[in-house]
Amino acid sequence: MKDFARLVKLMAPHWKSMLLATLLGFFTVGSGAGLLGASAFLISGAALHPPVLELMQAIVGVRFFGISRAVFRYLERYFSHDATFRLLSHIRVWFYQALEPLAPARLMEYRSGELVSRMAADVETLEQFYLRVLAPPLVALLTLFGVFAFLARFGLGPAFVFLFFFLAAAAAAPLAVRALGRGGGGLLGETRAALNTQMVDTIQGMTEIAAFNLSARQQRQVGELSEKFLGLQERAAGIRSLSSALAGLLMNLAMWSILLLAIPLVTRGDLDGIYLAVLALVTLGGFEAVLPLPMVFQHIEESLAAARRLFAVIDAKPAVPEPPAPSPKLRGYDLRVRGLSFSYAPGEPRALDGLDFALPRGGRLAVVGPSGAGKSTLVNLLLRFWDYREGSISLGGQELKAFPPEELRRHISVVTQNTYLFNASVRENLLLAKPGAGEKELLRAAREAQIHDFIQGLPRGYDTPVGERGFKLSGGQRQRLAIARALLKNSPVLLLDEATAGLDPVTGRKVMESVSRLMEGRTTVAITHDLTGLEGMDEILVMDRGRVAERGRHSELLEKGGLYRKMWELQNI
């Protein structure tokens, strides 16, 4: 019930459109019943061969209800789908706004395919919540009152017969369908999500699957999920067919029961025979509103299952809370770390243990060490992807925790090992750093990153698509685009996280030339395995198991003959 109430609350901003669509739905059903009733009255009356003028009311009624039904149906479809699409847009924005603060710490436990499924399939499932769950019962309730009042004018007997069968179709049939399909809606959604997740993993890992000859196994797993999904769909289709048959049976029983009740009234003269067909056909027309109701519980189950999967994600508390007070003003861009310790989960070994350093504005600090030494953890904390509890990190004399993550990241440019490029043009990928940048700024950043000439040689220059994740470009080209993006952002603090990792020595040296230009005048922290070019660093921290094993300049560390010297010798054999 709680999840149902949350879904209804999500739809509250669009209640006016939904109410209008519901009323239009009632008018559509009413016009349909009116058309059948007026047609029956016209045909029955015409069989008695009265003067044409006596039939004019019926003729006008047929025309009116025929036209109004078409108009109301069009308006009902228009406004109901408009409300639905606005609702879906609202839900997507709401979900993304709730999802963004959770990245990346809280999203690490989800597979990418699972998140895609929740963002796409589950949100799409909620499209049914208004059209198939909320609107039909309201339309049916209004129709029940309208048809009951009409039939009651001719006698309470037909009215109560209609009431009995209408309620049976509106309540008993849905309960029977619910009993047959219990759990099917939720299981259908879960299976669809699992299949989507498997397909995304298959596509993303296509190279590894082929390289390790795992295609047959992957096809088998996808096939099993597909068969399960198809089986659930067949079961749902069977239930839908049964519900339609059951509703049709009750509708016809209601019509025949009213006929059997009304015929003696006509025989006794208590009811004009011209109205016999009117009562029967108005009853049939009124049942149009009840036909969708048997599937309401099935749609509720699917919608609530989808909603629970969405709520399970967004109900997680962000790893980095927003500070209660407004952001303080920075007095500079010097960076200081004191006694910083951090572990990713309680009971796990510390990724950082008592880290200390001071970096003045415009200073250059390199952090090196073997894998697992805590280098990337430092970057995660500086960007506030995770929150530290022990120690202190200050920028310009202000504690990092005093800044909202989004505000803090405006002052920082990042170049990582795995530069993500969207499947868009070179220009669009560069403008991510500064959407309002002009053409001159864009070209200057590309020239400084030594990528301009390459871009100009592409088929469409800066408007050339780079492909999914930038796979149309080489590793060095992707890194230079990342450097150009950082230059365009022009932030005073620069974080380099393995900016040259995975590149060949020649490309790596060229990229380092661009990196050196990028570091000029910026407070720079460079995380790296590659010790090439560290002679220009003001200080080098050599980390091991979360602690600082050595610190000093390049020449000093070589003279010490410690861990840094060993790493340097291994790279320069």
Q: What is the per-residue pLDDT across 493-521, written as a single tens digit (0 to 9) for each?
A: 888 887 766 566 666 676 677 677 777 88
Between 372 and 74, residue with greater pLDDT: 74
β-partners of residue 367 are 527, 541
d(CA 531, CA 369): 10
For residues 104-126, give the mean pLDDT. 70
2-190+232-314 CATH, one of 1.10.760.10, 2.40.50.140, 3.40.1440.60, 1.20.1560.10: 1.20.1560.10
d(CA 175, CA 212): 51
Residue 213 backbone class (left: φ over 0; alpha: ψ -120 to 50; beta: rest):
left
For residues 392-418, give the mean pLDDT. 85
Instruction: Classify residue 112 by its DSSP letter.
Output: H
pLDDT beyond 70 at 185: no
pLDDT beyond 90 at 218: no
Can you name the CATH fold of 335-571?
Rossmann fold (3.40.50)
Whole-number percent of the chain with pLDDT over 70: 93
For residues 334-361, give the mean pLDDT. 87
Cα-based distances in Å from 467 to 72, 420, 421: 47, 11, 8
pLDDT beyond 90 at 148: yes
d(CA 215, CA 212): 8
* CA dihedral sign, ordered 495, 394, 557, 517: positive
d(CA 567, CA 573): 10
Strand ranges (DSSP E) for 462-517? 493-497
Whole-model pTM?
Answer: 0.68
SS3 call for 364: strand
Between 305 and 253, residue with greater pLDDT: 253
Domain spans, the chain: 2-190+232-314, 335-571
For residues 388-412, give the mean pLDDT. 86
pLDDT at 71: 94
Instruction: Classify residue 492 by its DSSP letter.
Output: S
Instruction: Classify residue 57 by its DSSP letter.
Output: H
pLDDT beyond 90 at 70: yes
d(CA 140, CA 292): 9
pLDDT tens string 11-41? 778 788 888 988 999 999 999 998 988 898 8
Q: What is the mean pLDDT of the chain?
A: 83
pLDDT at 109: 67
Q: Which of 26-30, 376-380, 384-388, 395-399 has the highest mean pLDDT?
A: 26-30
